[in-house]
Structure 1
């Protein structure tokens, strides 16, 4: 093979540009080390000459690092990319990774259509490539975590992992605050619509036959504790407030449960729904409007998350806004060693909309 026929190498590109090989490497792997103009010039010349960039496998063997960070998602990839909350978190993660020359690898802890308890990491071999892991969401079990390389940095987001750092909001206090606001106008019949709260998968009204997960296993138990603390303060026995559980935070799963609630006889139908997600609350709002149930006159609603959809439509949703983008940034910085790997609890904001003034 002649010199002109062989693929261009990093060294060749550096010689053509009259820069060091380290500078070319930084353009691909550590963009924060170069000016924007210089990096764009190097990348443009690399594209023109057909140089694809440093070989990740060779670099991994040479340095012991792949410069890949994996985000292990509790849901399917399709759901996670379409869900407003998880997509914001991923945006925060990639913002940090892009700035420090790392690549994102997405892995799903749940195969499409599989039951919650049958957790299986999507292609465990892929996980061995990553330098660190961010585990996000209401995970179906601990077996998945045990499949990840124990020596790599790992941060949980909305998920508790023994002896590993986590990033959360104060779910109990946030739900206490919004329930306390909602209860300033005493309801006749309050109800709670929870999210993935029971040990065994269950969608529908929760009975004494279902056991709740502990607050160490799901953030939604902390949210329930916050609701119930506010109810107790108002002299309402928590055991007298029915709880409906939803196992998947999507409209198709929410709708039948909400329909069951709203189709109760008027004298049994709740006039206050404390919902553990904006998706649940927005589903309730849509179905109430279809039935001629006025919000907030006949039914008051609260949500949790602060997604844009809840603030753009009328009536605007009363909710708790959490900064999911910042959650992603913090988790990524921890995994990269840019800030101490320790438990962090981010603040939330009570958003007073029209569904529960």
Structure 2
């Protein structure tokens, strides 16, 4: 081949003695070829300097970019470091990789109300987390498929776990032992910015905006069944599910006088519960003797350390797989509700 000319798909097919469709499948639909044939094609492509089909040309020709955009409620830095979001993205990537699609990550928090130009080429959208602003959703093209994860968009399929019954189950378990001062630590429940105690001046987000509201309903149901008035149970709000943001709120809780400090913390994430556990240990509080804790998510960190966290395990990886399958047309465009599992650890035996 003349070194000055760019190698094309046709050139590679001719060199290998196969069809252009076979070469295309090696890059875009690997499941259509045997591993040996695909390896042979990719090896020769590397030898000849062929980098793969031109994505822009393919998009113009087929009307498809093979790009799937995932719009995250939080910043990209936060999402990639968060165990739950990372598991979801892993599930999405697993399916997209197998089908020869590219993953485009976007942050709704950083985008505000404008869709980046690159995202307009996407063949579909997976939107994850706290519901983005309506103005942002309105900028998304109406034709490509869209799947919402952990919130709802009218007329589009959504993927949830059984948040309300899951929180009812873990709270009922925790309340099976005598509790004098239960408390709840929520994740993003107030309309106004609030990293601390929730008061009557705060407006709570609706169930259509945040899964936190469904989780709170489950907690309240269990409290009422045990003869505890939910209205009298103190609540705190956490703005971001990180140690740095959780710590000041939880420090204030744990530093309350002994007669006011909660003896049970129902936490809406494992990160909140693990932060409380670390800070309680630093203060010499015994868990579970002085303070009992429950979480939500079932992340590995909570199960590897001692005392092991009592929590609810959700399969975030499977949520990502299902979302990707729906977007690619590999599964029906139907809403899905996944079941969770109670994990009884040492923090609330």
Q: Is the 8 A contact 1:10 1:54 kept in 2?
A: yes
Structure 1 residues 253 and 4, CA, compared in 2 at 3 Å: closer, same or farther? closer
Give the whole-Å Cα distance in 2 for the aligned partners of 1:283 and 1:140. Answer: 27
Instruction: Give the alignment of 1:73-88 within 5 angstroms.
Output: 73-88=72-87
Aligned match of 1:258: 250
Question: Residue 322 of structure 1 is aligned with which of 285, 290, 314?
Answer: 314
Instruction: Give the alignment of 1:38-53 within 5 angstroms.
Output: 38-53=37-52
Q: Is the 8 A contact 2:113 2:139 kept in 1?
A: no
The answer to whether residue 211 in structure 2 is matched with residue 219 in structure 1 is: yes
Aligned match of 1:13: 12
Give the whole-Å Cα distance in 2 for the aligned partners of 1:215 and 1:340. Answer: 25
Aligned match of 1:56: 55
Aligned match of 1:119: 112
Q: Is the 8 A contact 1:73 1:106 kept in 2?
A: yes
Shift of 1:120: 4.2
The TM-score, its normalising length taken from structure 1, stands at: 0.96
Give the whole-Å Cα distance in 2 for the aligned partners of 1:44 and 1:120. Answer: 44
SS at match of 2:121: coil
Shift of 1:139: 3.3
Aligned match of 2:129: 137
Aligned match of 1:101: 100
Shift of 1:149: 0.8
Question: Residue 329 of structure 2 is aligned with which of 317, 330, 337?
Answer: 337
SS at match of 2:167: helix
Shift of 1:186: 2.3
Aligned match of 1:37: 36
Give the whole-Å Cα distance in 1 for the aligned partners of 2:229 and 2:28. Answer: 57
Which 5+ residue runs of structure 1 have no aligned equivalent? 112-117
Instruction: Give the alignment of 1:93-242 within 5 angstroms.
Output: 93-111=92-110, 119-120=112-113, 124-242=116-234
Shift of 1:3: 4.1
Question: Residue 274 of structure 1 is aligned with which of 254, 266, 274?
Answer: 266
Shift of 1:48: 1.4
The TM-score, its normalising length taken from structure 2, stands at: 0.98
How many pairs are equivalent? 349
Shift of 1:313: 0.3
Give the whole-Å Cα distance in 2 for the aligned partners of 1:292 and 1:119. Answer: 44
Give the whole-Å Cα distance in 2 for the aligned partners of 1:93 and 1:36. Answer: 23
Give the whole-Å Cα distance in 2 for the aligned partners of 1:337 and 1:88. Answer: 22
Shift of 1:141: 2.3
Give the whole-Å Cα distance in 2 for the aligned partners of 1:34 and 1:131. Answer: 24
SS at match of 1:128: helix
1:321-351 per-residue CA deviation (whole Å, 9 max, x = no partner) reads 0000100000000000111111100010000
Q: Root-mean-square deviation (CA), in Å? A: 1.2
1:249-279 per-residue CA deviation (whole Å, 9 max, x = no partner) reads 1111000000010000000000000000000
Give the whole-Å Cα distance in 1 for the aligned partners of 2:3 and 2:266. Answer: 69
Q: Is the 8 A contact 1:160 1:218 kept in 2?
A: no
Give the whole-Å Cα distance in 2 for the aligned partners of 1:157 and 1:66. Answer: 23
Shift of 1:353: 0.3
